[in-house]
Chain A
């Protein structure tokens, strides 16, 4: 029995030695960046798992921007990317690592809504670093759960869905079927869409909640075929989305009912590559598309193509603009102190984004930006998207209006 103790003691001492060794070998305990000559930026992105395609795009955009902005106000930028694999628990762990071990000055993250929400709670509770929310579109981050320390550069569910609802009712037809992924963001989008669609005289024929991970949509497609609406509004992000578009085409619905897409998925280069002609004729609400004609975007697209050999998607622009916002805020604040950064952000910052000029609204911590409606076209065997309507300077209301939640 005594041997066992020696053995356990051995293990415990081995572990202790290992840990102390780890501890000594790293540069922990260094003071936070303010007086060092480095700016440390930590990004927690979903680089593997279901949402890897989003994380990849965001990372591409961030790296592209910092390639040309390696130094801010004489301080060298150090980028740290961590993978959360699409899991909020992992994201929280990486947050601790970035703040406790690497002492980053600013955090970026929130590839998906649940991670943005989890990180937001942590950042808001600790108030030690500001966070740039790179995608997470939840309305509540601008309303009930707005935090002075969390700023969004992408867009909110409300901005997309309310515009889509208005457009569908005014420009397409008064009857529609809503097909939405059955999770928090899907319900939020559907709520905003339906409220605005009905406000503009439309009539919702049916709401279809597709579970996340639905592989076969044919049951729903037959239901739509029975209803014969003017349009079908879909919000199905992730891998399910292109699959829906593909099957919508396979079952012959594409020519019958106008498809309106609400998660900026239809025009993604990867979607076009995967489903090709099935996107033609489909309409989509977005805050960015690569064909957008303005000087900043033309330059952006060219640089992006040159570096990565592919077209940028919305995520790349979100990453690029997050990087821009961080740099602008640091320059304006003249410091990386959390309070200084927050103060500057609260005064409102405008940036020249590839999606057109945007302004970060200090009341909702969300950008005021244009919304575009685009449509898939095919000419000479190449598929491109054409602008059909612009809604200018869409700004979120300061608080939630009272409407029925779906």
Chain B
């Protein structure tokens, strides 16, 4: 608990100080990283702690963004808008989770993908909400006592939500629910034998993850003041998975780091060359071949936490430490 408080303190300090050291564009980029960080953390929760690989996580993000944009025509309170965004995302997660969680592996992946594609088709083909062109809004975050209009205030707002999300997810992971979930991922049969209702654990985690993704989507709508069906697209869904992979699974902060690396890399590479997707692709392949634990583990390794690194690699590969040692020998 002490460590959590310290971590939070560090994050608060970082969020507070960073803008003074950065140009407006970097503030803009970090704002985006923080939003995508919440999004990636939520996926990291079900992937890294629940073993659920979803190619449909963008559904919740898109629903959150659309909720804010559409409802902002009627309501202006940020509390109501974000709350409704989270609730709608949770509701969708509940319904689709009940269906999809029966399946595993690629079946789960494809089912979640199918749900997201359905939303994509509905939003891009319907006559409401701007269709394929998307929908804009002029809403600014209004906290009730002050309206935030400057990019800097938006940064602090989103920074605040990021820290809150991190804290809540941390609490969730360390709660009995969270540890139970990890138990399910490590050995589902054992948990069933111990009398746990495995399905409920997964569905609850899925709903929690959906809610946080919805929050991220809602914040994203405040930032861009625009929602389009691309938010549901396969590209968005794949991007967030890649963020989690790059950062490393099995931790909360890894996906955030992954989001940061992905966004900065993508932006700089695509500015330098039109061949950016080629370079990004090569980077993914290299990541898989040379750095199996993700960036966070690499840094951990540098700092000298070799044992924890191995454990995490083993976890993410779903093999025991002994097997890992054996593989290392053969490689």
Which residues in A have some Cβ–Cβ distance to B below 8 Å?
1-12, 14-16, 19-20, 22-23, 26, 28-29, 47-48, 82-83, 87-89, 92-93, 96-97, 100-101, 113-114, 117-118, 121-122, 125, 138, 182-184, 211-212
Contacts and interface: CB of A to CB of B under 8 A. Distances in A.
A48 B3 contact: no
Contacts of A28: 23-25
Contact of A100 (B10, B23, B124, B303): B23
A25 to B, nearest CB: 11
B23 A89 contact: no
A114 B228 contact: yes
A10 B299 contact: yes
Contact of B136 (A2, A9, A117): A117
Contacts of B235: 87
Q: Is the interface of A mostly helix, strand, loop or mixed?
A: helix
Given A83-B276, A117-B134, A23 B26 contact: yes
Contacts of B18: 16, 19
24 contacts: A1-B3, A2-B3, A3-B305, A4-B3, A5-B3, A10-B299, A11-B257, A12-B10, A28-B23, A48-B277, A87-B230, A88-B134, A88-B230, A89-B226, A92-B226, A93-B267, A100-B25, A114-B132, A122-B226, A125-B138, A125-B225, A183-B132, A184-B131, A211-B125
B221 to A, nearest CB: 11
B63 to A, nearest CB: 15
A100 B22 CA distance: 12
B25 A101 contact: yes
Contacts of B231: 89
Interface centre among B10, B138, B274 (most CB of A within 10 A): B274
A117 B133 contact: yes
B197 interface: no
Interface centre among B17, B226, B260 (most CB of A within 10 A): B226
A62 to B, nearest CB: 14
A392 B16 CA distance: 61
Interface of B: 2-3, 6-7, 10-11, 14, 17-18, 21-26, 28, 30, 32, 124-125, 130-134, 136, 138, 224-226, 228, 230-231, 233, 235, 253, 257, 260, 267, 270-271, 274, 276-277, 296, 299-300, 303, 305
Contacts of A92: 224, 226
B6 A5 contact: yes
A118 B136 contact: yes
Interface centre among B14, B17, B233 (most CB of A within 10 A): B14
Nearest to B263: A93
A7 B131 CA distance: 46
B183 to A, nearest CB: 21
B309 to A, nearest CB: 11
Nearest to A81: B274
Nearest to B228: A88
A12 B14 contact: yes
Nearest to A3: B305
A225 to B, nearest CB: 26
Contact of A83 (B274, B296, B305): B274
Given A8-B10, A11-B257, A16-B14, 17 more contacts: A5-B7, A5-B10, A6-B303, A14-B299, A19-B21, A20-B21, A28-B24, A82-B271, A88-B226, A88-B230, A89-B228, A114-B132, A114-B228, A117-B136, A118-B226, A121-B225, A182-B125
Contact of A23 (B23, B230, B296): B23
Contacts of A88: 134, 226, 228, 230
Nearest to A92: B224
B299 A100 contact: no
Contact of A113 (B3, B133, B260): B133
By Cβ-Cβ distance, the 3 closest A-B pairs, closest first, are A100-B25, A101-B25, A28-B23
A15 B34 CA distance: 13
A101 B14 CA distance: 22
Given A12-B10, A83-B274, A182-B125, A212 B299 contact: no
B226 A11 contact: no
Nearest to B275: A48
Contact of A96 (B14, B28, B225): B28
Given A5-B6, A29-B23, A97 B253 contact: no
B136 A183 contact: no
B28 A114 contact: no
B134 A118 contact: yes
A212 B132 contact: yes
Contacts of B23: 23, 26, 28-29, 100-101
Contacts of A87: 230, 233, 235
A18 to B, nearest CB: 9
A184 B267 contact: no
Contact of A7 (B134, B260, B305): B305
